[in-house]
Structures are given as structure tokens and as C-alpha cells.
Amino acid sequence: MKRYLIAGLLVWVPLGITLWVLHFLLTSLDQILLVLPEGARPRALFGFDIPGLGVVVAFVILFATGVVAANFFGQRLIRAWEAVLGRIPFVKSIYSSVKQVSDTLLSDKGQAFRKALLVEFPRPGSWTIAFQTGAPAAAVAPWLAGEHVSVYVPTTPNPTGGYFLMLPRSQVRELDMTVDEALKYIISMGVVSPRLHASVVRDTQDVAPPPLAAKAPQEVQH
């Protein structure tokens, strides 16, 4: 009975959590419809709500915003909007910080969270997974001896919290795994191991085992 119960849990727990997350996202995005006038909402037009309509509306808004921002007039409009926000004392600090982080993370040219690393943390001899976020700032780099990299060490099983470290490049090891695989490895607390890439398998097979040490000839006692 215990074996069957565990087998049932292995089927329903991932499915239930997935459905719960999807339901949370759909209901959250459906709140976008509240900004519409009362007469333009689905309940007023059709007499009932349409689940998931917020996802479609959010996609249309994002796509339309991207189209506007990609042309010359849209860029001038965005710069004017940012200039207005830059004059508001408290809003300026929040908006500028969030924009710098989002530009770094979402830009194709950015290097943040592009590499999974193996670092010693929190003490020598103890290793964990980290992500490279860039290089130390110009105001910090002169105080560091040698080349350093900025890394983010996430906590498990919640990777949204963690530690920011600046480590010598010689003390970090680049891993042959994707960021998604590293996140799964961290969230699962090491239970879900990343797959071994073909390059790693090939390199492992090419390495010959070390030769056996030859036994020294025994001295003949006379």
C-alpha cells in the first residue's frame, strides 16, 4: 500500500503544482481586465467571464508596446516619458534601478545569468552552484587584486534569494550546463541532476586511465 501511495503522489504532486501555478498566473493576468470600462468587460458583453482572456490582452499590450518602441517616434516618446519620471525624486531611484537591471537581464548583448558556475561557498572546501552576473564595477575593481567576476549564489529551494559575491576568476569553475538545468538542480536541492552533455561525455571517454605504477624490483639479499 505504501508503494502504491508513493507512486500516486509522484503522478499527482507535479500535476497539481503545475495546475496551481497556471491557475495563479491566469487569475493574476485576468486582473488586467479590471482597467477596462465596465461596459467593455466580458461579463457585460457576453454575460460571463472568459478565463485566460487576460493572457491574450497582456500579449497584445506587450506586442503593441514593442512595435511602438522599435520605431523612431516611439523611442522619442519613451525618452520623454523617462525624463518625466526622472524628475520625481522617489520614483526616479526605483525606476532607474529596475530599468538597469531589466536592460541587463533581458538584453541579448548582456552576459548576466548566461553562465552557470561552481564556486566555493560558504567556506573553502564547500561548493555550490552560482551564476555569473558580470564584472565588478569600475569603482570597486581597483581595490581587487587580479581579475574578478561578479556572481550570484541563489538559495535553495527558493532561488529568488541569495548572495552577491565578487570572486577571483581563478576560483570559479564554468560548468557545461544551461541556466535552466542549473536552476532545476538548485530548486530540487540536488535531486534532479543535469544531463551530461555530449562534449563532456566525449572528453571523459578520451581521457585514458592513469597507468599502473610499476613495482620496484625487490632487492636480493645475500
pLDDT tens-digit profile of 22-77?
888 888 887 777 777 777 777 777 777 777 788 888 888 888 888 888 888 888 88
pTM of the model: 0.57
74-106 pLDDT, tens per residue?
888 888 888 888 888 888 888 877 877 776 666
What does the DSSP 8-state code read for residue 113? T
Task: Give the model's confidence band at 107: pLDDT under 50 very low, under 70 low, under 90 confident, else very high.
Answer: low
Residue 40, SS3 per DSSP? helix
Say if residue 63 is exposed, middle or buried (CB neighbours under 10 Å; 0-12, 13-18, 19+): exposed
In angstroms, rounded to a whole number, what is the distance separating the alpha carbons of residues 70 and 83? 18
pLDDT in the model for residue 221 = 47
**Per-residue model confidence (pLDDT) at position 198:** 53
Q: What is the mean pLDDT of residues 178-183?
A: 88
How much is the pLDDT for 1?
A: 83
d(CA 41, CA 52): 13
The residue among 25 and 170 whose pLDDT is bigger is 170
Q: How many CA atoms lie within 13 A of 116 on its CB side?
A: 17
